[in-house]
Amino acid sequence: MIDVEQVILSYQEDVPTNLLDDFKRHLDSSGIGLKTETRPINAYASFEWAVPTLIAVFILRSYFDAFFKEAGKDHYQILKAGVSLLLRKILGVHPENRPKGRSLIFSIQSVTRDGARIKFIFPEGVSHETYDEIVEALLDILATHYSSQGEDELSEMLVSTPPLGRVYYFEYSLEKRSWSVLDWKNDLEVRQKD
């Protein structure tokens, strides 16, 4: 077991812990430093995508530091497999039958090299195979970001849109099969017109 936290599993206090057990066991047995924390049930007045999801996985900078020092690809596959286990447990056998939209159930969060917070908003209503692709694309973007000197896809995307508060929000485009910065100003304009 690693003494340094690399991943945090944060969940609302009313989430049944049996949904999280496989993920926790997988990461614990793989040597990834995992911390779990519960959050109280709260009401929020915000964009639905800015509200904390029921379950969030935070990938800390220490994960990427270890990733590049040790057997990086092994850790990458371990985390990807763990997230896949978690999504299968919380979304069921056929998540593609769920209504389409932005997930309020699950997100992954991280930070940039310079400490800016990032929330990756997952789509609802897609297959587990698609979720696997989405997670792989997310980990690729973060790994490239941490291994580069500012000339990477994530850094370029952050320049195009300011954060909301101190957080950048990303969403996955099923059409483009890639992550992009959520244009919160456009979302605000659309809501004001409605």
Selection from 6, 22, 168 nearest residue 90 by Cα: 22
Predicted structure pTM score: 0.90
Look at residue 132 and tell me whether its pLDDT is greater than 60: yes
Q: What is the mean pLDDT of residues 72-95?
A: 88
pLDDT computed for residue 69 by the predictor? 62
User: Do you know the residue count of the chain?
Assistant: 194
Helix (H, G, I), strand (E, B) or coil at 143: helix
Instruction: Specify which of 72-86, 89-103, 152-166 reaches the highest per-range mean pLDDT.
Output: 89-103
Which is more confidently placed, 164 or 192? 164
The token duo for 57 is: 């996985």
**Whether 186 contacts 136, CB under 8 Å:** no
Beta strands in the chain (DSSP E): 7-12, 34-39, 55-59, 101-111, 117-124, 167-173, 178-181
Determine phi and psi for 134, rounding to 5 degrees: -65, -45
pLDDT computed for residue 74 by the predictor? 66
The token duo for 34 is: 């995992």
pLDDT computed for residue 1 by the predictor? 43
d(CA 194, CA 189) in angstroms, rounded, equals 9
Beta-strand relationship, 34-39 and 55-59: unpaired
The token duo for 172 is: 């996955």
Helix (H, G, I), strand (E, B) or coil at 79: helix
d(CA 19, CA 38) in angstroms, rounded, equals 14
Q: What is the mean pLDDT of residues 80-93?
A: 94
Stretch among 45-54, 99-108, 122-131 having the lowest mean pLDDT:
45-54
Mean residue pLDDT of the chain comes to 88
Burial code (b: 16+ CB inside 10 Å, e: under 16) for 34-62 equals beeeeeeeeeeeeeebbebbbbbbbbbee
pLDDT computed for residue 13 by the predictor? 95
Considering only CA atoms, give the Rg of the chain: 16
Which is more confidently placed, 191 or 104? 104
pLDDT computed for residue 45 by the predictor? 67
Using the structure block, give the residue that is written with the tokens 């991943």. Answer: 7
d(CA 156, CA 112) in angstroms, rounded, equals 12
For the chain, what are the domain ranges?
A: 7-193
Q: What tens digit of pLDDT does each residue of 27-76 get?
A: 989 888 899 999 998 877 677 777 889 999 999 988 887 766 665 566 77
The token duo for 183 is: 């244009």
Q: What tens digit of pLDDT does each residue of 142-182 get?
A: 988 988 877 899 999 998 888 888 899 999 999 999 999 98
